Structure 1
Amino acid sequence: MAELQMQDKPVMELKHVKLRGKLRVMTDYNSTNYFIYKGRTMGFQYDMLQALAKHLGVKLELTVNNDLRESFEALERGDVDLLGMNLAVTNQRIDKFNFTVPHSQSRQVLIQLNDSIQPVSYISNQSQLVGKDIHVSEASSFEERLKSLSKELGASINVIPEKMEVEQLISKVASGELKYTIADENVAMVNQTYYPEIDIKTTVSFPQNLAWALRKGANHLTQDVNMWLIDFQKTKEYKRIYRKYFHSSRIEAMLQSEYFTLKSGKISEYDDLLKEKSQIVDWDWRLLSALVYQESHFDPKARSWVGAFGLMQLMPETAYRYDVDTLSPARDNVDAGVKYLKYLSGRLDKTLDDKTDRLQFLLASYNVGLGHILDARRLALKNGKNPDQWKGSVDYYLLNKSKPEFFNDPVVKYGYCRGEEPYLYVSKILDRYAHYKNMALLE
């Protein structure tokens, strides 16, 4: 009976994903799959996975790991539902995992310095790989392919597995630290715009299917993803996403940008200012960056239709309290916004008995005003819910505070509120903060 339950559990994963309300995905970060540019989360895999989560009617919960072996282990343990990466479908992998239909195709190519830089060691065909040291990502399909190629050639290729992802190895080849590595051609083409000195013309495989992986036996979820992928790849949206990351001249500008976070570690030109001012409210500067992006997209001249202005989108009455106006420099605007956050934090500390969800309450208060949050807490308490709990309690009453039966309740003091805005505001900032933590260092 226990064995039967273990077999049934993966089959029910589609149901579990929908009941859970989120699709747990592990991906890797690089210049095509998942990255941040000027504070915005982007990438071929990221955009595709967002579209899949929308289809399933759930939230995308994304974690990042560039160690492929660890990623497969996490999938086997059930820590994640899906590996959303460029995974070559090999016989060895098919024995252990479910794979989706291909989301794309690519050949494997040799990365080396071009022949004008290293003519003596330049490799133009696969037979010349014999006896050479080829550094590849550990547990990758590149490692499998080179071992197979050694057998085909009847001679040894010295395959050196590295605990580094593909783009790290490409950068080491570009700098001359390593002579050779292997990458998927579409990823190699994007990186060639960043490292024009590398050569990617020598192929080491025929075109291979690239797909996503799921747990062995997760057949309902695999089938649903497959049906969606087959239909999605026929749409204009898929073609737009693919063209955006693999056939767009804008990619080169992104890769060269100071605010391509994967390479520079920077989120915006205001990083130093936000690192300094975040200390006032004892926040991680990346959290403050996520709030500023949500408010103004890092545009100090941003103005809203209700009169909010600057990086922190201060309302005129709040700005007046901290002696700033529309002509004040960005530094003063951020200083005032953070001091207002500290004020709200102090008020909430006196209000909340359980401070577990204080951040959610604080973000919502900054967006819509403390009064509406206190109203939502009173509604939660009146209806037998925990007024100190955000998810499934206070957020529900805030979300519904635009309805007469809620804002006309006798416990409500601040009236109507368009609650969807602060509800989404909290979620978007926390999601973006998670992405920023994946890319930008704390210090």
Structure 2
Amino acid sequence: MLTLICRHFVRRASAYYALIAITLLVMVPTLSLVPPGEHLARISAKDFITVHTRNTPTTYYEGRHGPTGFEYELMHRFADYLGVSLNLDASHHPESVLPAVRENGDIGAAALPLLPGTPGIHYTRPIIQMQPLVVYRRGLNGIQAAGDLVGLELATLSEAGTGEALRDLQRQYPELSWKESHELEVAELLSRVEDGTLDAAVIFEHQFRLNRLFFPNVERGFTLGDPLSMAWALPSGRGLGLLEAANRFLRDLHESGTLDRLVSRYFGHDDYLEYVGTRTFLEHLDERLHRYTDLFKQSAKETGFDWQLLAAVGYQESHWDPEAVSPTGVRGLMMLTNPTASEMGISNRRDAAQSIDGGARYLRSIKDRLPDSITGDDRLYMAMASYNVGLGHLYDARKIAEMRGGDPDSWADVRVALPLLQQREWHSQTRHGYARGGEPVIYVRNIRRYYEMIQYVERSRQQFFQLEQTPVNEDPLLLFDLVPPLN
């Protein structure tokens, strides 16, 4: 309708009104000189939609149980909405996404900031807000305000949107300088802050929330400037059908509350790997573990694991809560996905007995699939790491360990290599790409701590039980070692 009105003005109005109409054509992105459904028709004809994205935790990556990521889920849902398959090109950095969209289509979905007026690009309606955030190396004092950034080794990603906030700040502080990288990703920036190569970096707040546990020496600083809007990018000049369909899809997600739930699932939980303190753990052990001890012992007999180790895995996964649901949708005491539950013959993931049985057998199957060259505790720790991150990423980490001159059969060397899967320099050389490689390292460390604590408590209980069984006529002082008096 708007297109027809503008054409009418061009034909019938004076030159002055024609100029106004042409201006409207430039300003309003819903106008086009090609058939409105051309782009959408091409996608329907080829039966798939190509999405240009990035291999990062906030966009797309191969997770513990297959492809995942906030924008991956959105794009997968959108492909289903259109009734076509999803074809991903995840080889991009922010700087390369828009050129690929202009040249090849169909959509760019890579934590892109909505920047009106970008040549050759139409943006969808906003998806979420992205707040630029300053992070800095722990130990640097006085990083409290924007002026404190002057003189620091500061960096951000090029074309990610965070540079705009720094350029705005530079008008107030002309001496401010920073570096922009078109090769690094967020995890690599944080790694450089962690190791002292950089003093500070500017990323988005939700990116820091997902990565903070892996970089304990990086502090959250302060927000910088106004939030930007994340949007999808589409090529202009190919009709407006796809843009209109995307906007309808995003509007429906928003109005139904689905978008808010997805944001909460991916960005609202950043404490999954936090180590629970001794007091909380002992409270849970006293209140919950006894309900499932027999189940852990039965599964231990069938799989050859120590029941206390299985209990430690269960605590890390769910805090022994059979109703638990993770941010990514896995559920139950041992946090099984639907595919894993199906593979293990589990019909009800919320049934504690089935969950423990399925989780124990799944861990056993992973351990059995590891190469025979991995032995002892190394084999156990790598099996637990694979339970968290997947066998494919573990094999990638073993490859990196070997490339670095380490032993791919040693957990000590693989443990160092796993976090490198977060860095483009390394994950680009692997089969399965990006992974939150710091996560399985923390995961295994936590389980080992819980395992030691369960063992300690169980030993203490057994000793106490033995004391209670001591005959009353036996001298209780004989139960203690005699300490001679000081001379």
TM-score by length of 1: 0.54
Counterpart residue number, 1:207:
227
Cα deviations across residues 99-129 of structure 1 (Å, max 9, x unaligned)?
A: 1111100210112123xx222xx42111222
Give the whole-Å Cα distance in 2 for the aligned partners of 1:86 and 1:175. Answer: 26
- In structure 2, relative to structure 1, the CA distance for the partners of 1:64 and 1:238 (3 Å cut) is same
Structure 2 residue corresponding to 1:100, chosen from 121, 124, 130: 124
Kept in 2, the 8 Å contact 1:33–1:85? The answer is yes
Cα deviations across residues 272-312 of structure 1 (Å, max 9, x unaligned)?
A: xxxxxxxxxxxxxxxxxxxxx999639985579xxxxxxxx
Structure 2 residue corresponding to 1:118, chosen from 105, 116, 140: 140
Read off the aligned partner of 2:93 and give its amino acid letter.
D
Give the whole-Å Cα distance in 2 for the aligned partners of 1:23 and 1:30. Answer: 20
Counterpart residue number, 2:203:
183
Give the whole-Å Cα distance in 2 for the aligned partners of 1:303 and 1:203. Answer: 46
Give the whole-Å Cα distance in 2 for the aligned partners of 1:113 and 1:36. Answer: 29
1:45 aligns with 2:71: yes
Give the whole-Å Cα distance in 1 for the aligned partners of 2:433 and 2:36. Answer: 29
Structure 2 residue corresponding to 1:17, chosen from 26, 43, 54: 43
Read off the aligned partner of 1:112 and give its amino acid letter.
Y
Deviation at 1:55, TM superposition (A): 1.0
Paired residue secondary structure (1:145): helix
Counterpart residue number, 2:251:
230
Kept in 2, the 8 Å contact 1:109–1:201? The answer is yes
Deviation at 1:33, TM superposition (A): 2.0
Kept in 2, the 8 Å contact 1:300–1:330? The answer is no
Cα deviations across residues 62-81 of structure 1 (Å, max 9, x unaligned)?
A: 11024222222211112x31
Give the whole-Å Cα distance in 2 for the aligned partners of 1:239 and 1:206. Answer: 21
Counterpart residue number, 2:260:
239
1:8-407 pair list within 5 angstroms: 8=34, 12-78=38-104, 80-91=105-116, 94-114=118-138, 117-119=139-141, 122-218=142-238, 219-249=240-270, 251-252=272-273, 297=340, 301-302=344-345, 330=365
Equivalent pairs, count: 270
Kept in 1, the 8 Å contact 2:109–2:233? The answer is yes
Deviation at 1:206, TM superposition (A): 0.9
Paired residue secondary structure (1:187): helix
Give the whole-Å Cα distance in 2 for the aligned partners of 1:331 and 1:106. Answer: 38
- In structure 2, relative to structure 1, the CA distance for the partners of 1:185 and 1:168 (3 Å cut) is same
Give the whole-Å Cα distance in 1 for the aligned partners of 2:213 and 2:337. Answer: 30
How many percent identity over aligned positions? 20
- In structure 2, relative to structure 1, the CA distance for the partners of 1:239 and 1:118 (3 Å cut) is same
Unaligned runs of 5+ in 1: 1-5, 255-292, 305-325, 336-434
Give the whole-Å Cα distance in 2 for the aligned partners of 1:24 and 1:128. Answer: 43
Deviation at 1:333, TM superposition (A): 8.7
Paired residue secondary structure (1:88): coil
Kept in 2, the 8 Å contact 1:44–1:241? The answer is yes
Cα deviations across residues 229-285 of structure 1 (Å, max 9, x unaligned)?
A: 11211224322211111112565479xxxxxxxxxxxxxxxxxxxxxxxxxxxxxxx
Kept in 1, the 8 Å contact 2:38–2:241? The answer is yes
Give the whole-Å Cα distance in 2 for the aligned partners of 1:235 and 1:171. Answer: 38
Give the whole-Å Cα distance in 2 for the aligned partners of 1:152 and 1:37. Answer: 42
- In structure 2, relative to structure 1, the CA distance for the partners of 1:66 and 1:181 (3 Å cut) is farther
Give the whole-Å Cα distance in 2 for the aligned partners of 1:331 and 1:85. Answer: 33
- In structure 2, relative to structure 1, the CA distance for the partners of 1:15 and 1:112 (3 Å cut) is same
Paired residue secondary structure (2:231): strand
Counterpart residue number, 1:437:
432
Give the whole-Å Cα distance in 1 for the aligned partners of 2:177 and 2:252. Answer: 41
Paired residue secondary structure (1:157): coil
Kept in 1, the 8 Å contact 2:137–2:219? The answer is yes
- In structure 2, relative to structure 1, the CA distance for the partners of 1:172 and 1:144 (3 Å cut) is same
Give the whole-Å Cα distance in 2 for the aligned partners of 1:35 and 1:66. Answer: 12
Give the whole-Å Cα distance in 2 for the aligned partners of 1:171 and 1:199. Answer: 12
Give the whole-Å Cα distance in 2 for the aligned partners of 1:153 and 1:334. Answer: 58
Read off the aligned partner of 1:23 and give its amino acid letter.
I
- In structure 2, relative to structure 1, the CA distance for the partners of 1:253 and 1:39 (3 Å cut) is farther
- In structure 2, relative to structure 1, the CA distance for the partners of 1:300 and 1:50 (3 Å cut) is closer
Read off the aligned partner of 2:109 and give its amino acid letter.
G
Counterpart residue number, 1:362:
none
Deviation at 1:11, TM superposition (A): 5.9
Give the whole-Å Cα distance in 2 for the aligned partners of 1:134 and 1:81. Answer: 35
Give the whole-Å Cα distance in 2 for the aligned partners of 1:166 and 1:123. Answer: 20
Kept in 2, the 8 Å contact 1:135–1:162? The answer is no
Cα deviations across residues 158-181 of structure 1 (Å, max 9, x unaligned)?
A: 334341112211122123232121
Cα deviations across residues 339-380 of structure 1 (Å, max 9, x unaligned)?
A: xxxxxxxxxxxxxxxxxxxxxxxxxxxxxxxxxxxxxxxxxx
Read off the aligned partner of 1:118 and give its amino acid letter.
L
Kept in 2, the 8 Å contact 1:110–1:183? The answer is yes
Deviation at 1:13, TM superposition (A): 0.7
Give the whole-Å Cα distance in 2 for the aligned partners of 1:75 and 1:33. Answer: 16
Deviation at 1:50, TM superposition (A): 1.1
Paired residue secondary structure (1:200): strand
Kept in 1, the 8 Å contact 2:65–2:337? The answer is no
Cα deviations across residues 318-349 of structure 1 (Å, max 9, x unaligned)?
A: xxxxxxxx9xx8599979xxxxxxxxxxxxxx
RMSD: 3.5
Give the whole-Å Cα distance in 1 for the aligned partners of 2:217 and 2:366. Answer: 41
TM-score by length of 2: 0.49
Deviation at 1:38, TM superposition (A): 2.1
